[in-house]
Amino acid sequence: METANIAAQKEKVLQVLKKRPLIISGPCSAETEQQVMATALGLKATGKVDVLRAGIWKPRTRPGSFEGIGTKGLPWLQAAKDATGLLTAVEVATPKQAEDALHFGVDILWLGARTTVNPFSVQDLADALRGVDVPVLIKNPINPDLELWTGAVERIDRAGIKDIGLIHRGFASYGNSEYRNAPMWHLAIEMKRRYPELLFINDPSHICGRRDNLVAVAQEAIDLDYDGLIIESHIDPDKAWSDAKQQVTPERLGAMLDEIVWRKETVHAMDHETLEKYRQQINHLDDEMIQLIAQRMKVADQIGQYKKENGITILQTNRWNEILEKAVIKGEKKGLSKDFITKYFDAIHMESIAHQNKVMND
């Protein structure tokens, strides 16, 4: 590409990355030139897709499965991009793959879950990408470890990559049958709290591992204010060479995106002042709760002092059971679940014991 065209394409990439919701879709794997082109045209026709994804190198759990078409698939993606104007995105796991992808004009790179788990691989990629102006999306690691995910962001960030995004694709969990990869939403929310400025994408396909609950998971993500979705789409899903069970046709993808309620739009149309007032109330209540908890701990300190002076043990199980039982009954009357009250009081109890411990052993 000429320099002017390259600059124009880079500008286009930055614009597209700002679009909300940002929709990335395409086959799990590029298989044939015809399959990539037909899928891309189908996705373009929905009018809802911004980026064409395709796996070129596939990290498979067992050898002998289809491990990706390799570099020869990259020109297919380029042709699909020329035909549709969609941006392209590819998973890269080694410096050589990154180099090849960039050589064939791939717009966005992503690190797969099996790469994010390995700091050596992430660092190799970070070193290879130093000084390169390309957006990099980082999938969560396979295991539920936010420090690994954070570490990958730090390594890519320190290589000078300006546009980093996060993809939440769920976490492996032993014996979970409902999901292929359990979403563990709280971990994703914590990651979003750590990096509020980064693009945050949900990957319902790899969370679900099957088609029937893609919309439900996507909806949950949208309700949690994710910036976009990456969903696998294949022109003939049942015949896909990888992840056949979770892929949908471009047509079905278009219908699915129509089913999702994009609450952000609803919020825009809503009376912001009302929302702001509720938020203020919540802030006040949270402040008060912290004050009250702090006050409660002060009393715990005094109890600790008393117990110390009178040689009484910290933990008195009967007393605690009594507190908890009363709280559960009161809570349930006010519409608070037993589970919540138990967790909440357990946390309070632990903190209280820590306070008393400190007083008694100081």
The interface partner of residue 139, options being Mn ion, ligand PEP, none and the CB cut-off 5 to 8 Å by kind, is: ligand PEP
Find the shortest distance in angstroms from Cβ 140 to ligand PEP.
8
The CA distances from residue 310 to 141, 168, 345, in Å, are 52, 54, 26
Closer CB to ligand PEP, 231 or 300, in the complex? 231
Other CB atoms within a 10 A radius of the CB of residue 290 amount to 10
Candidates 24, 28, 101, 125; binder of ligand PEP (CB under 6 A) is 28
3-state SS, residue 57: coil
Closer CB to ligand PEP, 23 or 314, in the complex? 23
Find the shortest distance in angstroms from Cβ 87 to ligand PEP.
16
User: E strands, the chain, where?
Assistant: 22-26, 51-53, 87-91, 108-111, 136-139, 164-168, 199-202, 228-232
User: CA angle 80-83-86, nearest 5°?
Assistant: 65
Closer CB to Mn ion, 28 or 111, in the complex? 28
**Dihedral sign, Cα of residue 307, residue 312, residue 314, residue 317:** negative
β-partners of residue 167 are 139, 201
**Using rule CB under 6 A, residue 248 touches ligand PEP:** no
Find the shortest distance in angstroms from Cβ 27 to ligand PEP.
9
Closer CB to Mn ion, 77 or 159, in the complex? 77
Map the footprint of ligand PEP across residues 144-173, applying CB under 6 A.
169
Using CB under 5 A, which of the segments 78-86, 218-226, 237-245, 295-303 binds Mn ion? 237-245
Asked whether the beta carbons of 22 and 13 are under 8 A apart, the reply is: no
Closer CB to ligand PEP, 81 or 206, in the complex? 206
Closest-CA residue to 320 (of 301, 298, 348, 292)? 348
Find the shortest distance in angstroms from Cβ 247 to ligand PEP.
10
3-state SS, residue 343: helix
Candidates 206, 222, 314, 356; binder of ligand PEP (CB under 6 A) is 206
**Using rule CB under 6 A, residue 139 touches ligand PEP:** yes
The interface partner of residue 169, options being Mn ion, ligand PEP, none and the CB cut-off 5 to 8 Å by kind, is: ligand PEP
Closer CB to ligand PEP, 172 or 353, in the complex? 172
Closer CB to ligand PEP, 66 or 320, in the complex? 66
Closest-approach residue to ligand PEP (CB):
112
CB burial of 63-93 (b: ≥16 within 10 Å; e: otherwise) equals eeeeebbebebbebbeebbeebebbbbbbbb
Candidates 243, 248, 300, 345; binder of Mn ion (CB under 5 A) is 243
Closer CB to ligand PEP, 50 or 328, in the complex? 50
Question: Could you give the CA distance from residue 122 to residue 17 in angstroms, rounded to a whole number?
Answer: 23
Find the shortest distance in angstroms from Cβ 216 to ligand PEP.
19
Asked whether the beta carbons of 242 and 55 are under 8 A apart, the reply is: yes
CB burial of 193-232 (b: ≥16 within 10 Å; e: otherwise) equals eebeebbbbbbbbbbbbebebbbebbbbbbebebbbbbbb
Find the shortest distance in angstroms from Cβ 133 to Mn ion.
27
Asked whether the beta carbons of 181 and 193 are under 8 A apart, the reply is: no
Tokens of 338: 């037993």
**Using rule CB under 5 A, residue 28 touches Mn ion:** yes
Map the footprint of ligand PEP across residues 88-117, applying CB under 6 A.
91, 112-114
**Using rule CB under 6 A, residue 234 touches ligand PEP:** no
Closest-CA residue to 235 (of 245, 250, 246)? 250
Binding residues for ligand PEP, rule: CB under 6 A, are 28, 55, 91, 112-114, 139, 169, 206
Binding residues for Mn ion, rule: CB under 5 A, are 28, 243
